[in-house]
Amino acid sequence: MDQQPKILVLGSLNMDLVVKSLRLPKKGETIMGDSFNTTPGGKGANQAVAASKMGAHSKMIGRVGDDLFGKQLISYLNSQNVGTDSITIDADSHSGIAIINVDSASGENRIIVVSGANMKCGDTELEISKNLISQSDCLMIQLEIPKQISLAASQFAISHGIRAILDPVFTIELDYMDYKKIDIITPNQTEAEFYTGIKIIDTNSAEKASNKFLEWGVNLVVIKMGKDGAFFASSEENGLVKGFKTCVLDTTGAGDAFNAAFAIKISRGSSIPEAIKFGNAAGAIAVSKEGAQEAMPSSKEIIQLLSKN
């Protein structure tokens, strides 16, 4: 098997506008921030960069505006060896942005996304995806572009025997027929509760939520549970893969780091628990650094952490 899996990412590109403060503001409150910076982001682009840093052949499909942010987003992907020739530049839209407020003390954040060109993804991006899926080992999708495009690509990948990983967002609902187009779903605790109505507080509740996803037609469920690790379930097996202790500075790209690492291991034929352990390590390293794409770890860093645990 190729030691460099081919990871295809269909999804969002955003410029993150990051404000750090000693604490997050309350409703109606104005507080002073400590710092401000702009950094490339978007779930799709984060995952594409992470996959590349971890040693995969990574290719990005998405849409940006014909503006400065769009140029910067593509330029950064190129600098990280991510294929960008399938990114559409839309003259009629602005590039997506995310306003991120990070609590300097805990590393927790609050995010507001203005999707811009991301929500203009359509038949063009879907056709590009269909042309490239058969050449890939794994498709990674999110719900920060139109849902029907992501799920159509997922369904196409499944029909061609290619693993497809959906990283959902709890602002986008999924209906009964949507789940039948999903191979692997990787919600965090909040997202899992949003979709299933079950609050994830321990392994038992994670199992109950996972069983709902399976009943609806998903092949594999992986619920990301932060420092506690991740719970997984399929028709054959389930269990909790414990996480790693780390110093948390910024949680912004942790889930994206996990998904990329998990995708790489799945593409290499690893077992589900082994792939999740690799993902947990990637997420632990990502939260110990500031930012999103720049915080994504290399395979070497992940292996070093695993060797110590």
Domains of the chain: 6-12+42-94+117-307 (3.40.1190.20)
Estimate the crossing angle of helix 203-216 against helix 189-196, to 10 degrees.
50
pLDDT digits (tens, 9 = 90+) for 144-159: 999 999 999 999 999 9
- Give the CA distances from residue 86 to residues 34, 52, 81, 160, 263, in Å, rounded to whole numbers and listed in that order: 38, 16, 14, 21, 20
- Whether residue 1 has pLDDT greater than 50: no
The whole-chain average pLDDT of the chain stands at 95
Q: What is the mean pLDDT of residues 155-169?
A: 97
pLDDT in tens, 114-137: 999 999 999 999 999 999 999 999
Percentage of the chain beyond pLDDT 90 is: 88
**Is 137 known to be catalytic?**
no
Quote the pLDDT of residue 51.
98
Residues 6 or more apart in contact with residue 210 via CB below 8 angstroms: 192, 221, 223, 231, 232, 233, 238
Average pLDDT of span 167-183: 94
Mean pLDDT of 257-279: 98
pLDDT, tens digit, 9 for 90 and up, residues 31-45: 999 999 999 999 999
- Alpha-carbon distance of 120 to 65, in angstroms, equals 10
Does the pLDDT value for residue 217 go beyond 80? Answer: yes
Catalytic one of 16, 67, 167, 256 = 256
Task: For Cα atoms 64, 260, 48, give the angle at the middle one, nearest 5 degrees.
Answer: 25
DSSP secondary structure string for all residues of 190-255: HHHHHHHS----SHHHHHHHHHHHHHHT-SEEEEE-GGG-EEEE-SS-EEEE-------S--TTHH
What mean pLDDT do residues 253-272 have? Answer: 97
Q: Average the pLDDT over 65-90 and give the result.
A: 98
pTM of the model: 0.93
- Which of 61, 50, 56, 8 is closest to 264 using CA atoms? 56
Rounded average pLDDT over 84-97: 98
| Residue that the structure tokens 């971890």 belong to | 54
The Cα–Cα gap between 146 and 92 comes to: 17
Asked whether the beta carbons of 118 and 144 are under 8 A apart, the reply is: yes
pLDDT at residue 106, rounded to an integer = 86
The share of the chain scoring above pLDDT 70, in percent, equals 99
pLDDT for 270 beyond 60: yes
Query: Distance of CA 12 to CAs 267, 271, 280, Å?
Result: 22, 29, 23
Three-state SS string over 111-152 comes to: EEEECHHHHHCCHHHHHHHHHHHCCCCEEEEECCCCHHHHHH
Is a pLDDT exceeding 90 seen at residue 107? no
**Does 63 score more than 50 pLDDT?**
yes
pLDDT score at 163: 98
Interacting residues of 296 by C-beta distance below 8 A, sequence separation 6+: 46, 49, 50, 53, 54, 253, 256, 257, 260, 282, 286
| Amino acid found at 47 | Q
